[in-house]
């Protein structure tokens, strides 16, 4: 027993001696930043240099000139570097909670999708993942948000904070170019995918990690992910792309499609999993529901605070609209179509849409007989599609015993040159659309579709958009009267809207659902402005006001 105690004491003494010796050899001495070992080596090298043929000179010569000395030194350096990198990885990731760490530890998963609630810490996770990859020298990374300002206010400071925390040297943080470059050659580029023209500007880059934040709301995701980002990951082994966000407010998003397909590794966590929040999250959710006067299982609560895939049906603009089956139904059966109205919406960086509506002006009813939505087309394609819509419309009029000349085109005023070319060159009945009181006009159009005054084709272009068009929510999650264009930008709906202004005028309706004292019809608006619209068959026509500097102009 005494021998065992003696051995224990001996080991403890040896440990103390070794610790003291280690500190003496490697710790900085006095005010100097160099250790005793550093000073000893420097003095030894100095002595060997002064007397190369002496004992120290011969010793160093034998060591330095041996075979594979450089390879051995490289191997030792790589071991030390790997050890240091592992330690930096540990320091960075230890600040994440378990659900987040799972994402970080899955180094060999090349495609990941993260669905979270609010306050789950996904932006902090993204920042640390980006810095974690940049610990390895010469590693480029890319972070994409919906807007550049969101990159700078949300993720930029978290990246700088994480890098400072592990003392990863920053060579330059260029807030104008939104690039953080590290002293080891790695860098992080931040980018705002603000519209459909933004994604192609990223082409040509090379990245080991790409994180697309708020992926449920990103524009043009098919092109961004598959055409732009995927090729940029090819140059690096074990490269990775991550989509992250909250469940989408609307159906048919790319984010939800990836989640449902199950081909990407899925991660799901909520604010309830976040141990760093100072308050009781369940009490917070309960108080929020009470304050908003909504049930605890309201879609808003389930989606935003539980992270569940539940759509924002309360904010849907077009609800309970009526459809007809183009293969089985004949909407002409109880209508007498006496006018064809064709709406045009142009989008050079996005989609063009042309919608044709057959109208019974006596019964105040109609149906969409023509739908077309196409991407980045030239003027000739737009004119060709309009010609097709006009010809089909004329046939419908003839079938109803109506004048085949009762066809009108109303186009987006963002490019009047197209309308002029259709009218002057191709003799198409082209007019500028009336684009006032948009909010009220959309409300009225939604009502016409809801009560069945206007039928749309089942599973068509318009129904696809109607399911996705939402009103904005403000910072307090209250629904506003503005369409949330950041969530989804409609094209076919606006073409239908431009057409609707004409039939509403013919039906003697106001432009919106609620009464206002301001002029709401095209005729009233022109009269208030002191202009005299010419009337033809009871409708407002176009006034040719001559050929100005920008070409021939028309006013409605």
Distance (Å) of CA 26 to CA 4, 20, 37, 166, 296: 33, 10, 6, 22, 61
DSSP 344-379: EE--TTSEEEEEEEEEETTTTEEEEEEEEEEES--H
CA-based nearest residue to 130, from 103, 98, 99, 97: 103
**Residue 332 DSSP one-character state:** T
H or E element, residue 212: strand 209-212
Residue 470 pairs in a beta bridge with 316
Distance (Å) of CA 107 to CA 101, 440, 500: 11, 52, 54
**Which pLDDT score, from 0 to 100, does residue 542 have?**
33
**Which pLDDT score, from 0 to 100, does residue 66 have?**
62
Domains of the chain are: 92-296 (3.40.50.300), 323-555 (3.30.420.280)
pTM above 0.75, yes or no: no
What's the rounded Cα separation, in Å, for the pair 261 and 189? 29
CA-CA-CA-CA dihedral for 482, 483, 485, 489, to nearest 10? -150
Which conformational region is residue 293 in: left (phi greater than 0), alpha (psi within -120 to 50 degrees), or beta?
left
What's the rounded Cα separation, in Å, for the pair 116 and 304? 8
CA-based nearest residue to 173, from 145, 220, 134, 228: 134
**Which pLDDT score, from 0 to 100, does residue 325 have?**
96
Distance (Å) of CA 521 to CA 142, 499, 509, 516: 50, 14, 8, 11
What's the rounded Cα separation, in Å, for the pair 234 and 197? 23
Distance (Å) of CA 211 to CA 27, 114, 141, 242, 338: 42, 10, 8, 5, 54
Say how far residue 2 (Cα) sits from the centre of its chain: 73
**Which pLDDT score, from 0 to 100, does residue 548 have?**
30
Which conformational region is residue 478 in: left (phi greater than 0), alpha (psi within -120 to 50 degrees), or beta?
beta
What's the rounded Cα separation, in Å, for the pair 266 and 97? 17
What's the rounded Cα separation, in Å, for the pair 540 and 520? 13
Helix ranges (H only) for 95-134 are: 98-105, 122-134
- Tokens in use for 497? 């809207």
User: Do residues 499 and 354 touch, judged by C-beta distance below 8 A?
Assistant: no
Pairing of strands 170-174, 179-182: antiparallel
Residue 358 pairs in a beta bridge with 340, 367
**Half-sphere exposure for 488 (CA within 13 Å, toward CB):** 25
CA-based nearest residue to 470, from 459, 481, 462, 454: 481
**Residue 226 DSSP one-character state:** I
H or E element, residue 472: strand 471-473
User: Do residues 285 and 300 touch, judged by C-beta distance below 8 A?
Assistant: no
**Residue 251 DSSP one-character state:** S
CA-based nearest residue to 538, from 398, 408, 435, 412: 408
What's the rounded Cα separation, in Å, for the pair 454 and 511? 16
What's the rounded Cα separation, in Å, for the pair 38 and 18? 19
Any idea how long the chain is? 556
Per-residue pLDDT of the chain (556 residues; tens, 9 = 90+): 555 555 555 656 766 776 677 677 666 766 666 777 778 878 878 887 788 878 877 777 776 666 565 555 555 545 544 457 888 888 899 999 999 999 999 989 999 999 999 999 999 999 999 999 999 999 999 999 999 999 999 999 999 999 999 889 999 999 999 999 999 999 999 999 998 889 999 999 999 999 999 999 998 899 999 999 999 999 999 999 999 999 999 999 999 999 999 999 999 999 999 999 988 999 999 999 999 999 999 999 999 999 999 999 999 999 999 999 999 999 988 899 999 999 999 986 678 999 999 999 999 999 999 999 998 778 899 999 999 999 999 999 999 999 999 999 999 888 788 999 999 999 999 999 988 888 999 999 999 999 999 999 999 999 999 999 999 999 889 999 999 988 888 999 999 999 999 999 999 886 433 333 444 444 444 454 454 443 333 333 333 333 333 332 223 3
How many other CB atoms sit within 10 Å of the CB of residue 16? 10
């Amino acid at each position: 027993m005494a021998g065992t105690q003696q051995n224990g004491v001996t080991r403890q003494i040896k440990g103390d001696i070794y610790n003291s010796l280690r500190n003496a050899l490697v710790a900085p001495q006095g005010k100097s930043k160099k250790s005793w070992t550093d000073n000893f080596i420097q003095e030894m090298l100095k002595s060997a240099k002064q007397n190369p043929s002496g004992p120290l000179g011969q010793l160093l010569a034998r060591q330095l000139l041996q075979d594979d000395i450089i390879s051995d030194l490289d191997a030792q350096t790589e071991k030390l570097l790997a050890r240091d990198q592992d330690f930096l990885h540990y320091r960075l990731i230890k600040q994440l909670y378990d659900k987040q760490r799972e994402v970080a530890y899955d180094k060999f998963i090349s495609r990941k999708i993260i669905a979270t609630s609010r306050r789950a810490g996904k932006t902090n996770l993204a920042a640390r993942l980006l810095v974690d990859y940049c610990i390895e020298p010469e590693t480029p990374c890319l972070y994409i948000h919906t807007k550049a300002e969101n990159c700078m206010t949300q993720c930029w400071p978290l990246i700088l904070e994480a890098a400072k925390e592990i003392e990863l040297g920053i060579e330059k943080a260029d807030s104008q170019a939104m690039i953080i470059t590290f002293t080891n050659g790695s860098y992080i580029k931040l980018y705002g995918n603000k519209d459909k023209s933004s994604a192609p500007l990223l082409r040509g880059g090379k990245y080991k990690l790409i994180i697309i934040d708020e992926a449920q709301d990103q524009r043009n995701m098919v092109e961004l992910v598959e055409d732009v980002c995927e090729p940029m990951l090819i140059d690096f082994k074990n490269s990775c792309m991550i989509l992250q966000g909250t469940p989408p407010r609307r159906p048919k998003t790319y984010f939800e499609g990836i989640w449902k397909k199950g081909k990407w590794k899925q991660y799901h966590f909520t604010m309830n999993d976040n141990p760093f929040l100072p308050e009781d999250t369940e009490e917070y959710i309960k108080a929020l529901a009470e304050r908003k006067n909504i049930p605890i299982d309201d879609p808003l609560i389930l989606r935003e605070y539980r992270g569940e895939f539940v759509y924002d049906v309360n904010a849907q603009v077009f609800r309970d609209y009526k459809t007809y089956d183009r293969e089985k139904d004949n909407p002409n059966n109880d209508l007498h179509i006496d006018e064809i109205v064709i709406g045009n919406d142009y989008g050079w960086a996005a989609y063009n849409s042309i919608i044709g509506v057959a109208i019974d002006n006596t019964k105040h009813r109609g149906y969409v007989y023509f739908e077309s939505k196409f991407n980045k087309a030239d003027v000739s394609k737009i004119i060709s599609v309009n010609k097709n819509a006009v010809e089909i419309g004329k046939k419908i009029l003839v079938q109803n015993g109506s004048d085949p000349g009762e066809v009108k085109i109303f186009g987006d005023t963002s490019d009047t040159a197209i309308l002029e070319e259709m009218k002057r060159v191709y003799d198409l009945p082209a007019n500028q659309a009336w684009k006032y009181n948009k909010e009220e006009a959309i409300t009225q159009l939604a009502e016409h579709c809801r009560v069945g005054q206007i039928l749309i084709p089942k599973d068509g272009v318009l129904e696809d958009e109607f399911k996705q068009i939402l009103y904005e929510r403000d910072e307090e999650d209250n629904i506003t009267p503005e369409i949330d264009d950041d969530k989804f930008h409609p094209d076919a709906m606006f073409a239908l809207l431009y057409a609707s202004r004409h039939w509403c005028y013919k039906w003697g309706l106001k432009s919106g659902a609620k009464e206002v004292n301001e002029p709401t019809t095209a005729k009233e608006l022109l009269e208030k402005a002191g202009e005299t619209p010419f009337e033809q068959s009871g409708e407002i026509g176009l006034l040719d006001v001559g050929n100005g500097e920008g070409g021939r102009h028309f006013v409605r």
